[in-house]
Structure 1
Amino acid sequence: MDTTIFLFLLQDGIINGAVYALVAIALVLVFAVTRVILVPQGEFVAFTALTIAALENGVAPATPWLLLALGCLAAASELIRHFRDLTLRRVARIMLFDLALPVALLLLTQALAPMKIGQVGSILLAIALIMPMGPMLYRIAFEPIAHASVLVLLMASFGVHFSLMGLGLLFFGPEGTGTTPLSSQSFSLGELLITGQSVAVLVVTAVLLAMFALFFGRTLLGKALKACSSNRTGARLVGIPISAAGQIAFALAALIGAVSGALVGPLMTVAYDSGFLIGLKAFVAAILGGLVSYPLTVLAALTVGFAEALFSFWASNFKEVLVFTLIIPVLAWRSIVAPHAEESE
């Protein structure tokens, strides 16, 4: 391996690692607030890329119908669980968020899709369609069992993942597709060719991470989420609604997944099931970061991206296996140095 090849591999590793960092940050956020390992985080990424591709081709995507289906399930779930203590305010919120919003986005998408509203418009519309899915999934699958063990929540998370994969095949079909790069420009840095898409990925990732740092450090809502992640019981005792915190965490995870999908679309061919591998590699980074530290998670994601690039060069047939084996020494070390403790609320 000469210097030029190493620089190309380093570039690929940093770009892939930046995307993994965003997805891993979402996993850490959701786990810290709700104790849910969000296996279907990758579906937010894949569905966003597929939605943008359809909008760029002037075709109305099936995403609004998926959102409407999830909204109906979320509304039915909440109405059944709170049947005895329903209030007019709760019913109005259910009708507005779970039914009126998906219908409005469905009509808006069908009206705008044939117009080919441009790249920025397609990305914003795709984010608007994907982001509400996060709170809906939380209310459908996780809020009813919020006090269950982490293992039960993990099993539910896998169930949601397989359900969304099946729905993705139904709504989007088996064909993969890609999206238009955010920038078609490129420039040379010595022997290294740097594309505008690579720069866009790094800039968007850096800006989003900075915004989240400010959100958790400076805003009351961010501090409330940090309180939930530190001590759920204490947060509930001081008046922080745990259910609302869970929905906000899932909404932020869906937002991050949607932005990641917009970044990933030009880099690879995305199909309905492509999100699983992306989410799994991000999970490796989250594990390396301990599922608690956001800076360590970002560094671990960049490490995973660079390792994947090296494995692709040296042993491309086994790169996925080699990437996933990175967590084995970390788990072994943690099992030795960290004493086992029973899960407590």
Structure 2
Amino acid sequence: MDLNIALILGQDGITSGAIYALLALCILLVFTVTRILLIPLGEFTVYGALTLAAIQTGTPSMVVWLLVVFYVTNTLLDLYSSLRNKTPFNLKLSLSWAAYIAVVMIAMYKLPLATLPAIVQILLALAVITPLGPQIYRTFFQPLVAAKPLVLLIVSIAVHVAMVGVGLLIFGPDGAQTKPFSEKSYELGSLVINSQTIFIVIAFLLMIVLLWYFFEKTLYGKALHATAVNRVGAQLMGISPLFAGKVTFSLAAFIGALSGILISPITTLYYDSGFVISLKGFVGAIIGGLISFPIAAFGAVVVGLIEAFAMFWASDYKEIIVFTLIIPFLLWKSLTSRHVEEESE
């Protein structure tokens, strides 16, 4: 291996690592606030990429009908809960969701999708996928808000399997790759930097800044941060765990879909590609101990670099090499953490 090859592999590793870092941040965010390991995070990534690919070909994405199914299901669940607990039904929120879905469907079926500017196509894809986050939380996780983490993990796995099946039904077995945002490339010495890599790194850094601003400067962000630090204390101060769950799932769906859109021009994604992608983000989250956001982001970038160099030296074993990275960190965590039996509820 010479210097030029090392630079190319480093560029690929940083590109992949930035995506894994975004997913690792999502995993940590959802887990610290809701105690849910979001296994179907990769499906948001794949759904975002394949939805954008469909829009670029001028084909309305069937994901909008999934939004309709979730809306009807959740409305019925809310009505049942209101009648059972004798609480008022939030008609204003329900009508707002209905109006939003109607606007998205009109845009999907009435606009000339293939000729829209690239930024509008991306925003439309994000507008379709992001609402799936809070809708999925309301359907599957809100009734189990007080359940133990093991129960939530089992439900999360079930949701992942269901979303993979739905993805096959909506997108079919064929993979898709979107058009690149730009064809430009830049020379830095002997290294040719692809513009897509620059977009991914800029998006990663921008999301880091936006997340910092959201959690440190906004009221909703401080409420989520309080929930992550002390769930019981935050609830005693009037912060609803249901509200926190919906907001975190919305952020996870948005960042997951954005990650898929960013990598779709440089790799072909299939309906079942999401699990492996999110699993590599999970390795980064484990390196961060499911606590530290900066260490998780750094660990995910390291995972991307190791994967890139492993692909050169031992391509047949690159997945094994990446996933075995979590073993020493799990052993270290097991040896240095105090084990406390979970109290029975």
TM-score scaled by structure 2? 0.96
Q: Who is 1:198 aligned against? A: 197
The residue type paired with residue 335 of structure 2 is I
The residue type paired with residue 260 of structure 1 is S
Residue pair 1:78, 1:139 contacting (<8 A) in 2 also: no
- 2:48 equivalent to 1:51: no
The residue type paired with residue 39 of structure 1 is I
Q: Who is 1:292 aligned against? A: 291
Name the count of aligned residue pairs.
Answer: 344
Distance in 2 (alpha carbons) for counterparts of 1:303 and 1:249: 25
- CA deviations 1:279-322 (Å, max 9, x no partner) are 11001110111111111111001010001111111111111111
Distance in 1 (alpha carbons) for counterparts of 2:199 and 2:253: 20
Q: What secondary structure sits across from 1:156 in the alignment?
A: helix
Q: Who is 1:310 aligned against? A: 309
Distance in 2 (alpha carbons) for counterparts of 1:106 and 1:173: 21
Distance in 2 (alpha carbons) for counterparts of 1:337 and 1:298: 22
Q: Who is 1:324 aligned against? A: 323
Aligned alpha-carbon RMSD (Å): 1.5
Structure 2 spans left out of the alignment, 5+ residues: none
Distance in 2 (alpha carbons) for counterparts of 1:317 and 1:95: 52
Distance in 2 (alpha carbons) for counterparts of 1:265 and 1:126: 13
Distance in 2 (alpha carbons) for counterparts of 1:73 and 1:272: 24
Residue pair 1:53, 1:178 contacting (<8 A) in 2 also: yes
Distance in 1 (alpha carbons) for counterparts of 2:20 and 2:69: 29
Q: Who is 1:134 aligned against? A: 133
**What's the CA shift for 1:195?**
0.7
- CA deviations 1:204-227 (Å, max 9, x no partner) are 111111111111111111111010
Kindly report structure 1 stretches of 4+ aligned residues shifted beyond 6 Å. none
TM-score scaled by structure 1? 0.96
Moved more, 105-114 or 35-44: 105-114
Task: Sort the Cα spacing of 1:94 and 1:343 in 2 relative to 1 into closer, same or farther, 3 A.
Answer: farther
**What's the CA shift for 1:114?**
4.2
Q: Who is 2:102 aligned against? A: 103
Distance in 1 (alpha carbons) for counterparts of 2:149 and 2:113: 45
Residue pair 2:82, 2:88 contacting (<8 A) in 1 also: no
Q: Who is 1:256 aligned against? A: 255
**What's the CA shift for 1:95?**
4.0
Q: What secondary structure sits across from 1:290 in the alignment?
A: coil
**Identical columns (%):** 44
- 2:234 equivalent to 1:235: yes
Q: Who is 2:64 aligned against? A: 64
The residue type paired with residue 234 of structure 1 is G
Task: Sort the Cα spacing of 1:87 and 1:108 in 2 relative to 1 into closer, same or farther, 3 A.
Answer: farther
The residue type paired with residue 219 of structure 2 is L
Q: What secondary structure sits across from 2:140 in the alignment?
A: helix
Task: Sort the Cα spacing of 1:59 and 1:89 in 2 relative to 1 into closer, same or farther, 3 A.
Answer: same
Residue pair 1:187, 1:195 contacting (<8 A) in 2 also: yes
Task: Sort the Cα spacing of 1:88 and 1:337 in 2 relative to 1 into closer, same or farther, 3 A.
Answer: closer
Residue pair 1:55, 1:113 contacting (<8 A) in 2 also: no
Moved more, 104-113 or 237-246: 104-113
Distance in 1 (alpha carbons) for counterparts of 2:46 and 2:245: 23
Distance in 1 (alpha carbons) for counterparts of 2:14 and 2:152: 32
Structure 1 spans left out of the alignment, 5+ residues: none
Q: Who is 2:40 aligned against? A: 40
Q: Who is 1:112 aligned against? A: 111
Distance in 2 (alpha carbons) for counterparts of 1:153 and 1:113: 41
Q: What secondary structure sits across from 1:82 in the alignment?
A: helix
